[in-house]
Amino acid sequence: MTRKMPIIITGGGQRLGLACAKALVAQGYEVIITYRREREDIAILEGQGISCIQADFSSISGVDEFIARIQGRYSALGGIIHNASEWESEEDCLDTALLMEKMWQVHVFAPYRINLAFEALLCAGSEQDGQADIIHMTDYVAEKGSDKHIAYAASKAGLANLTCSFAKRFAPRIKVNAIAPSLLMFNSGDDTEYRNKALNKSLLRKEPGEQEGVLAIQYILDSRYMTGRTLSLDGGRHLV
C-alpha cells in the first residue's frame, strides 16, 4: 500500500483521537499522535505503525518542544487534526484566571502556534500529494455558549474563529475546516440519569459513537472543495 503524507493528530491516545489514528493508518496514512500522559497501549500503537510523541500543550515551552521535534523529523505533512482538549468547569476550579489561561493555551494558542510553524511543511505536503488539511475539533458550545463551562466554551469559540482566519491565509494550498460535535460517546463513569438527560438534548436521541467523528474527518480529508467551514455533529440539537 502506498503511504500517504504524514498526518498529526493531537490528543490521539484515547477516544476519538485514537479511533481516528487507527482508521487513518488502516487507510495507508502515516500517522503521528501526541499524548499527554503515559498509557499502557502506547507501545501497542507504535507496534501498529503509529508514531507517538508525548507532549504537553498547556505551556508555551511544551508547544515549542513539540514543534521542534516535528520540524527536525519531517520535511512535509499532509495534515494536522487539532484534537487535544481540556475539560474543566468554573464550579470545579479554585482559580478562574488560571482556568481561562489553560483553556486558551490548549485550545487556541497551541493550534495557532502549530499552524504557523508548520505552514512550510503543509505546503510541501500539498505540492507532493495534491492538497493538505488542517482540522480543528471545536464543540457545539462554541456557538451556543455554556453557563457551566464558560472558559471552555470561549476557547472553543476562539478555535472556531481560527478556522476562518487560517482558511484565508493558507488558501488555496491548504484546506482548513472544523468539526463541532456535541455528544459522541459517554464516559464509563457517567450514570443513567446523566446519560438520559444528555440524550434528550438532541432530536436523534442517540450516542453515535466515535465512528461518527471518524467519518466526518474522512469526509473533510477526501473533499477537494471545502474550506473555512464547520461540520456540526449534534443530532439536531440546535432544533430542540
Q: Which residues carry out catalysis? A: 152
Query: Would residue 34 be called left, alpha or beta, if left means φ above 0 and alpha means ψ between -120 and 50 degrees?
Result: beta
Report phi then psi at 5, rounded to 5: -55, 145
Q: What is the distance between the alpha carbons of residues 10 and 140, in angstroms, rounded to a whole number? A: 19
Q: With the CA atoms of 60, 101, 161 and 163 taken in that order, what torsion angle do they form, in degrees rounded to the nearest 10?
A: 30
Q: Are 114 and 169 in contact (CB under 8 A)?
A: no
Q: What is the distance between the alpha carbons of residues 189 and 203, in angstroms, rounded to a whole number? A: 24
